[in-house]
Structure 1
């Protein structure tokens, strides 16, 4: 029992907790914000460049052809999650603003970088994870605003989407991956010999995203705007929501008979929600005065999913090694 408890505090999980604490005490402010944003972007770009160089063309083709897996991931993201969100938002104990934020959380697409990073750590099908996460984000640019308009009441009845998310995915994620894959004949063997380098970039990019996101929330007065009771209720709701989806995606991996590598993709891609997509979408869909409250559940869920999936990915990696 003690070994399992201590396993929760493996170095990467401790690094995540420390990053959240550091952002709460010393958030990025003022002139340092653009520099840190650039550093975070560089880390993400390098991550996808290395993954593109690491994967063979045959592996990418097999991942793209795995249509059953991609459909199940999309159904989990845009059908299962919203249904659960409607149930959680109807809880009478939640403040209306927090309930709206919790529902908005369930309508978002999956993450990209952390889904792929955790899939790689767990030794899953990285090629399929790249395809599933990218499909989710590209489709989510249209589907998420449609779901918001259908399931949520927006002030003034105004909806809309921004092309910024499309540009970000294309320039920061897909383009580096394609360039890395194009450079595979020259650097593929180097990346294969230095797997620790890819692992370091995986973890480093996640820590940078966590620090940047939480810093922005703290600077905006996160801890002054929300009472302890409200924060506790939202935190518990996020934990219960994530636990439910993790259990269901794990069971669906067995029900659909997916091999271990694909079941890992469903677990990580299907259970994630993207803070990077949620922030610009909330800015478009909601008045500025409401964006902070709407995004609070998204930010909390973002931290919880990273910590929980870090533990799960590490466990999968240990099992694969054994």
Structure 2
């Protein structure tokens, strides 16, 4: 029951749906789009600054010592899922618009969620400490792994990646995170004492990035040039990646001989993908008209993973 409530009333899910509807009905274009992207960049800068401020360095160092759990998880999240995303993206080329097909590679190399993976691990009776540390380490690595993989694999003609884009990654993602880590001793307690306020700021920053990206896609004709058949293909391929993510993570955890609590943590950390990283990263890497299309597989995956995770967590609780 608690899992269902978490799924359908999660504030981030509601904000994402509002952002998509708003972009569909009132997309920004022209000079408004330029201003909106500046606002989005500022919001993303603040998001990663806050991430740097509230992530204790001690957790990162502690997580690095759980190598038997962490190393296979890193390989699965970025390596296995990245290869599956690349394979699906290649097979989808010709069946889907190029930017949507590229979205599967982008989805594959994203890190795990933080809040929902930890919440479902807790509901299922898993190892919450492992989940928290894994999510933190994976999201730090995501900044250094996801963007370079996309930059190396994707041609400049499709995504518009160049030296200027890599500079944007450094200025809007890496710089604020490092500043947050440096200022943690001074401003960290301020953020910790106002968790609700800064959590709201997080969600609105992600929603702004999604709104700007989808506005660009809507202006380009998102809801008209993707046919019903293509939508069915898109949903089917997202379903394939979900199956690989959840079944693969659970199977690998068993093959590693992890304890039940650790295996549950491995499942949710390995199978879930982070829109909190995906939306800002897409906004930084791609032009808005491309970013919205690339985010389609990520958004669908994110929403469905929550729906899948709720009954899974309930089942683990009953079996526990």
Q: Same fold (TM over 0.5)?
A: yes
Q: Which of 129, 133, 144 is the matching residue for 2:135?
A: 129
* Alignment deviations for residues 294-314 of structure 1 (CA, whole Å, 9 cap, x no partner): 984x33212113323556788
Post-superposition CA distance 1:188-230 (Å, at most 9, x none):
2222222212321232222122212211111111122222222
SS, match of residue 96 in structure 1: coil
Q: Where do 1:302-313 residues align within 5 Å?
A: 302-309=298-305
Match of 2:177 in 1: 177
User: Residues 183 and 147 from structure 1, CA distance in 2 versus in 1: closer, same or farther, beyond 3 angstroms?
Assistant: closer
Cα–Cα, structure 1 residues 216 and 86, in superposed 2: closer, same or farther, change >3 Å? Answer: same
Output the CA distance in 2 between the equivalents of 1:139 and 1:164. 18
Cα-to-partner distance string for 1:134-159 (whole Å, 9 max, x where unaligned)? 4345344554465568xxxx99xx99
Which runs of structure 2 are paired with 1:105-116 in the superposition (5 Å)?
105-108=103-106, 110-111=109-110, 115-116=113-114
- 8 A contact 1:85–1:103 mirrored in 2: no
What residue is the counterpart of 2:125 in the other structure? none
The answer to whether the 8 A contact 1:44-1:172 is kept is yes
Q: Which residue of 94, 97, 110 corresponds with 1:96? A: 94
Distance of aligned partners of 1:264 and 1:169 in 2 relative to their CA distance in 1, 3 Å threshold:
farther
Work out whether 1:188 is the aligned partner of 2:194: no
TM-score for both structures, normalised by structure 1: 0.71
Distance in structure 2 (CA, Å) of the matches to 1:23 and 1:238? 22
Where do 5+ consecutive residues of structure 2 fail to align? 121-127
Which residue of the partner structure matches residue 205 of structure 1?
205
**Which ranges in structure 1 are unaligned for 5 or more consecutive residues?**
284-290
Aligned pairs, how many?
300
Note the 1:235-314 alignment, pairs <5 A. Answer: 235-253=235-253, 255-256=255-256, 257=258, 258=262, 264-268=268-272, 274=278, 296=293, 298-309=294-305
Match of 2:144 among 128, 138, 143: 138
What's the Cα RMSD here? 4.3
TM-score in terms of structure 2 length? 0.71
Q: 2:123 aligns to what?
A: none
- The answer (yes or no) to whether the contact 1:110–1:271 under 8 Å persists in 2 is no
Residues 62-102 of structure 1 show CA distances to partners (whole Å, capped at 9, x for unaligned) of: 24555552553244433344346536865xxx772428666
| 266-275 vs 207-216, greater mean Cα deviation | 266-275
Kindly state the Cα deviation for residue 243 of structure 1 after the two structures are TM-superposed: 3.9
Seen in structure 2, the aligned counterparts of structure 1 residues 199 and 141 have a Cα distance that, compared at 3 Å, is closer
CA gap of 1:131–1:174, structure 2 versus 1, over 3 A, is: farther
SS at match of 1:98: coil
Match of 2:40, SS state, is helix
1:15 Cα deviation after fit: 2.8
Q: Rate the CA distance shift 1:260–1:165 in 2: closer, same or farther, 3 A.
A: farther
